[in-house]
Amino acid sequence: MTEFRLTQVSDTHLSRGRPFARLTENFHRVSEHIDTTRPDLIINSGDVSWDGPTSRADMEFAKDLHGALPVSCRYLPGNHDIGDNPTAIGTPPSHPASEKDRAAFVDVFGEDRFHFEAAGWCFIGLNSLIMNTAIPSEAEQMDWFAGELSSANGKPIALFLHKPLFLQTPEDPETPGTAIRYVPQPVRAQLVTMLGKHDVRLVASGHVHQRRDFTYGRMRHVWAPSAGFVIPDKMQEVIGTKETGLVEYRFRPDSFEVRYVRAPGQRDVSLDELLGSSG
Ligand SMILES: [Fe+2]
Ligand SMILES: [Fe+2]
């Protein structure tokens, strides 16, 4: 295969509950676009479901919708699927990621991390929510990740995970309001050191519900927009572009292209709309 076409969808936040029908509608528009474009693979980079820890049915609903796509999917968990990272700064998460929630995600989606190769590239997906939890799978994943990086054997590497690594630089200080937005310290520094020893060219994430594309050093950082909804400015500062959509990649040996796309009919549903229509 000399070209590998990959579509990243993120933050679909799916649930069968009626208040979330607008998110299902947006997913249907994304599905139609995928049916038209037929990439080689879909990656959902997390927050696949609305509230996985309290509703396995949300994850099962999301899995059914992804399973109906005409293209294979790989899955990574988000904080809405398995709970959030403990951080050194700021309020502790009300629901930290646990072994039980991770296992439930794996049970429904079949994985919480992945590795594969295509078009001369090495693709690695990480579960970013177990970082800083000290649960056994955190250390186990880090050992696995180190092994996968080493076994890339000089191939360029594309990394996928739910949370972006940082806003501007790896040394950005954590703040109480934003620590949960990025991979938390001290794991972030550990990851950045590991990535710097290998030919990592792309770090693709979701979580922020704002799309953004920047290069720091040799690494391009692509923040996928949410496929489902945007967060109003009164609830979240603007640090990228608040639009729903998806990201299309074309990988060829030694190069890649990135394109932000909005599926025909996909709407900028606001979180306000969702919360206002609950009940
Ligand atoms: Fe999200
Ligand atoms: Fe998230």
pLDDT per residue, tens digit, the chain (279 aa), is 699 999 999 999 999 988 899 999 999 999 999 999 999 999 999 999 999 999 999 999 999 999 999 999 999 999 999 999 999 998 889 999 999 999 999 999 999 999 999 999 999 999 999 999 999 999 999 999 999 999 999 999 999 999 999 999 999 999 999 999 999 999 999 999 999 999 999 999 999 999 999 999 999 999 999 999 999 999 999 999 999 999 999 999 989 999 999 999 999 999 999 988 543
DSSP lists the bridge partners of residue 9 as 44
CA 123 / ligand 1 centre spacing (Å): 22
For ligand 1, a single-atom ion, the residues with CB < 5 A are 11, 47
Nearest residue to 162 via CA among 103, 83, 241, 89: 83
pTM: 0.97
For ligand 2, a single-atom ion, the residues with CB < 5 A are 47, 78-79, 207
CA 201 / ligand 2 centre spacing (Å): 23
User: In which order are the strands placed within the sheet that holds 255-261?
Assistant: 73-75, 41-44, 4-9, 246-252, 255-261
CA 253 / ligand 2 centre spacing (Å): 31
Q: Hey, CA dihedral for 166, 103, 157, 2, is it positive or negative?
A: negative
CA 120 / ligand 1 centre spacing (Å): 31
What's the count of helices (H) and strands (E) in the chain, helices before strands?
A: 7, 13
Annotate 28-71 with DSSP letters as a single string: HHHHHHHHHH--SEEEE-S--BS-TTT-HHHHHHHHHHHHTSSS
